[in-house]
Amino acid sequence: MDYDMAASFWERKGSEFPMEDSELMGAIDAFVGRHKVCALATGSGEFVRNTPIEYNYTGGKFWLFSEGGLKFKALKDNKNVCLAIYEESSDMGSLRGMQIYGVAEVIEHFSDDYNKLLEYKKISVDAVRNMPEPINLIKVIPKEIDFLNSDFKKNGFDARQHLSL
């Protein structure tokens, strides 16, 4: 198996019909806004984890509340993450999904950002303070987005679009 050749497929193929960044960003925002759950991939050394988790998307960033779990084992050593958001489909002509490569930051409990997201979600700060352990907040700052959407072809674009932020 030539792993390097397989890994470089999209680099070699390139983009023949790319969208303008502003149009692509609008499509990304709309897609992300229609969903609420992603898969958060984390890893460090030999350890990998992929966690389905609810997100909020505001200010161009992804915000994920989490009670805890093994994802934090990886985040301790490696802040690079990948989010996957997709729609289930069995038809190759109607694929829709994206991968968001970014950097994660665990937000300090009850900091301004933490409290702002509680307010955004209409969760009382006092209710969280009364929990046995406060819930954790992960912020993901997107750096690269790959968006596969078969509908793009209807408008003359490649189905796969890439955005560097």
pLDDT tens per residue, range 127-162: 999 999 889 999 999 999 999 999 999 999 999 999
pLDDT at site 23: 96
In a domain, 3, yes or no: no
pLDDT score of 15: 80
Mean pLDDT, rounded, of the chain: 93
Q: How far apart are CA 100 and CA 83, in angstroms?
A: 5
Distance CA 11, CA 13 (A): 6
Domain at 83, CATH number: 2.30.110.10
Assigned domain for 154 exists:
yes
Question: What would the two tokens of residue 105 be?
Answer: 């930051």
- Look at the chain and report how many structural domains it folds into: 1
Residue 5, domain member (yes or no): no
Query: How far, in Å, are 15, 70, 107 from residue 112 at the CA level?
Result: 41, 26, 9
pLDDT in tens, 12-39: 777 889 999 999 999 999 999 999 999 9
Is 131 within a domain? yes
Residues 110, 123: contact at Cβ < 8 Å?
no
User: Does residue 61 form part of some domain?
Assistant: yes
> Is 53 contained in some domain?
yes
Q: What is the mean pLDDT of residues 68-76?
A: 95
Give yes or no for residue 57 having a pLDDT over 70: yes
The conformational region for residue 84 under phi > 0 = left, psi -120 to 50 = alpha, else beta, is beta
In tens, the pLDDT along 80-129 reads: 999 999 998 767 667 899 999 999 999 999 999 999 999 999 999 999 99
- Position 13 in a domain: no
Q: Tell whether 118 is covered by a domain.
A: yes
Domain span holding position 82: 18-164
